[in-house]
Chain A
Amino acid sequence: MRRKGIARLEPLLYLLPALVFFVLFTYYPFVKTVFNSFFLTNFMGIRKEFVGLENYLRILQDKEFFAAIKNTFIYVLASVPLSVFIALLLALIANKKTRSSPVYETMFALPMAMSSSVCAMIFELMYNPSLGILNEILGTNISWLTDSRYTIYSISFISVWMNIGFNFLFLLAAVRNVPADLLEAADMEGASFFHRTTKIILPIVSPTVFFLIINSLARSMMMSGLVIILTDGGRSGSASTMISYMYTQSVNSQNYNNGYAAAIVAFIITFILMLVSFGFEKKYVHYD
């Protein structure tokens, strides 16, 4: 009887270290923020009066916040599939081991080593309409970061690039684990490259792809740094995201009322999206 009780506690024991850190440094402050979001707080973060849902109602009536939600989804759609897809292509290229494998494997993975502030600086220089190398190479004359038609995609491109290395690393390992006999059998049947990829490789690498999609999804939903550094949210907030909105409201305008509420709305939206994604896990992800 006693043994059984201990056995029940065993997994919780393994979870304990992680949970302690999560509770102390993430959920405790977050719960405090949720609590504060029902109050009017001043620039020092001190609660002044209880206002109920007022802060939420205010941001939900704010056109800028809605634009930010919409932009966030554009970022997700523009960057998540692309970064996983490009990485998969690179993994397929690198699949076969050759003498120069170490060289290009390293090259494909290296973007993950760059910090976002440094990436922002590099791309700022490349995107510069007159002094930047991008317009020079493409022979175009586009204001990549200040023209509201392009801003959001220019930023997405940077985040795609930053995610390629990480995604590649995982996909390469996964692709290399596809049993050779399966592929040979497919070759014997004369399967096309497309068929081979979608019918044999993809199912086997699905746990990896699932992880990468969730990971990129979470990152893109929380995207803010590049937007803040490079565009200030773009013209009329044309490039702002939920979190950059939160940042500009709370840090730049010292308005924690809007900022806190925005953070919590962002949390709820992202959480729902995650739950939906995990709904797909049982259906499309094969662990055996």
Chain B
Amino acid sequence: MKKLFCLMLIAAMLLGLLAGCGSNTSNDAGGGSEDGVITIEYWNSAEGAMATSTEYLVKLFNDTVGKEKGIVVNSVFQGGDVMEKLKTLAQANDYGNFPDVGQIYSAGIPTLVTMDPLYTMSEVYDSGKFEITVKQEDIIENFLRTYQYEGELIGMPLNASSMLMYYNKDAAREAGLDPDAPPATIAELAEWTDKLTVRNDDGSIARYGLNIQMDRYELVNFLSGVSDTGCNYIGDNGGGRDGMMTKLTIGEDGSLMTFLNEWEKVIATGGYKAVNDDERGEFANGLSAINFQSSSQLATMFENTEGKFELGVAPLPACSDQYNAGAAVGGGSLCMFDLGSEERLQAAWEFVQFMVSADSQMYLFENNGYLPVCAAAYETDAYAAFIEERPEAAVAVEQLYNSDVGMQEPLDLINWELNTLSKENFISWTNGEISKQECHDNIVDNFNAKLTEYIRANG
């Protein structure tokens, strides 16, 4: 037994030693320049198919532009949200381990701007130190707006998507609806929901006309056009982009109530399911006829419905005739960090430009359904060929061009609260547990109270 114990001890020491060696080599690989080759780190949240695409593009960069200019990009997956990790590092005051480039969602922007090493895109464009091949004007304005904070462009849009309406064309035909004229307003959506709902003999529902859980993402998309000025910022200070958001404006300007008044018609049909059990799976199996998902799920939606029914894709319905249609942009951006080396900043910028070039963006469009962020991509032959093959992909592009630049997800600081409040109150309202007014007040008042609490600690 003692022998065994000693053996284990020795093994532990050996492994420890091994670990020590391993650590040394990995520290070298961390970044820096050697023999004129600069290694930079790219932290990403790319999961699933996006992970494969990211690896492909990084390798392509290293083999082409990188080889030419002596840059090696080391891509590191950092969990579902790079921001979580950056926050921990910042809290521990460990800026030394920051990456050169990070993939950041728009919700992370208000936190990001408080971090010292951040090197904004505006700084890149204004400094005159960088060789610019991708100009700010080359990027579509809607996407730029997403990552602007107090007038400054924080990150470069990388992967963009918007919400679409997916519907069952076969079901529409059976119900006597024109499958090629999908609902353009909420009122029409209610009509479709009603007609598409199928009930069993005992009155239970065999197929819901519509299945959508009103999370924050869905709510802000539906609300984004409900405004007389063309777009609804949801919160004050331009939805948190001109400064810290301090309250929701959708209560005081009546836009939430306007939307609820329309949505009431959907609930009244009785064929609306407000809970997400597996929206996409149930839709693909004919348990619901209309469903809303991001444009980045286009390929998956086709894969799931293949051989089952004809899938229709349409833009988001407007709240009513008098308001604009359109959708808010979602997705991620590339943000740069200054780690004290001019060379590395230059290298990082080269990589950022590569990622938003027409070719890279077309690659993401074809493989992951992300809308190209640079205007040039839409002029390419590859784009024309892809749209020819999958015309539905053009719906998201059209919707984008029809959307007001101001239609954005707000930088609402405590977005998780809005998500919970919206989801729960819509479910309760649909179930008849609370009234429309209560649903409205619960969302607005509770969120504002939480936001006030947040601002007290962070303002």
Q: Do chains A and B touch in the complex (CB under 8 A)?
A: yes
Give the residue name and chain of the A residue nearest to B288 (CB): A130
Bound-complex Cα distance A143 to B420 (A) = 19
Please determine whether B417 and A44 come into contact, CB atoms closer than 8 angstroms. no
Which among B90, B287, B424, B457 has the greatest number of chain A C-beta atoms within 10 A? B457
Residue of B nearest to A128 (CB): B278
Contacts known (A253-B454, A254-B414); A130 close to B282, Cβ less than 8 A? yes
Chain B residues 240-295 with CB under 8 Å of chain A are 275-278, 281-282, 285, 287
Q: Is the pair A43, B420 in contact by a Cβ cutoff of 8 Å?
A: no
The answer on a CB contact under 8 Å between A257 and B91 is no
Chain A residues with CB under 8 A of B458: 42-43, 254
Asked if A131 lies at the interface with its beta carbon under 8 angstroms from chain B, I say yes
- A143 and B111 contact, Cβ closer than 8 Å, known pairs A45-B91, A253-B454, A255-B453: no
Name the A residues within 8 Å of B420 (CB-CB): 232-233
Which residues in chain B, 119-160, are within 8 Å of chain A measured between CB atoms?
none
Q: Is A248's CB within 8 Å of the partner chain B?
A: yes
Chain B residues contacting A255 (CB-CB under 8 Å) are 414, 453-454, 457
Across-interface contacts of B424 in A (CB, < 8 A)? 235-236
Indicate if the CB atoms of B90 and A44 lie closer than 8 Å.
yes
Interface residues on A, range: 20 to 34
Q: In the assembly, what is the distance between CA of A254 and CA of B91, in Å?
A: 12
Say whether B454 contacts A254, CB under 8 Å. Answer: yes
Q: A241 contacts the other chain (Cβ, under 8 Å)?
A: no
Q: List A contacts of B277 (CB < 8 A).
A: 128-130, 143, 145-146
> In the bound complex, do residue A40 and residue B456 qualify as a contact, i.e. CB atoms below 8 Å apart?
yes
Contact B457 A131 (CB under 8 A): no
Q: Does A41 contact B (CB under 8 A)?
A: yes
B277 to chain A, nearest CB (A): 5
- Tell whether, in the assembled complex, residue B285 and residue A253 are in contact, meaning their CB atoms are under 8 Å apart: no
Count residues on chain B whose CB falls below 8 Å from chain A CBs. 28
Q: A48-B457, A235-B427 are in contact. Are A131 and B285 (CB under 8 A)?
A: yes
Nearest Cβ on chain B to A65's Cβ, whole angstroms: 14
Q: Nearest chain A CB to B173's CB is how many angstroms away?
A: 24
B229 within 8 Å of A by Cβ? no
Bound complex: CA of A42 vs CA of B87, how far in Å?
12
Contacts of A45 in B (CB 8 A): 91
Instruction: Tell whether A252 is near chain B: CB-to-CB under 8 Å.
Output: yes
B386 at the interface (CB under 8 A from A): no
- Smallest CB separation, A33 vs chain B (Å): 13
* Distance, CA A243 to CA B17, complexed state (A): 37
Q: Does B390 contact A (CB under 8 A)?
A: no
19 example contacts (A-B, Cβ-Cβ < 8 A) are as follows: A42-B457, A42-B458, A48-B457, A131-B278, A131-B281, A131-B282, A145-B277, A146-B275, A233-B420, A236-B428, A248-B416, A252-B416, A252-B417, A253-B414, A253-B416, A253-B450, A253-B454, A254-B111, A255-B414
| Given A41-B457, A131-B282, A253-B416, 9 additional A-B pairs, CB 8 A | A44-B91, A131-B278, A131-B285, A235-B424, A236-B424, A251-B84, A252-B417, A255-B454, A257-B457
User: Residues of B with Cβ closer than 8 Å to A?
Assistant: 84, 87, 90-91, 111, 114, 275-278, 281-282, 285, 287, 413-414, 416-417, 420, 424, 427-428, 450, 453-454, 456-458
The 9 closest A-B pairs by CB, nearest first: A252-B416, A42-B458, A45-B91, A131-B281, A253-B414, A129-B277, A146-B275, A42-B457, A128-B278
Interface positions of A (Cβ within 8 A of B): 40-45, 48, 128-131, 143, 145-146, 232-233, 235-236, 248, 251-255, 257
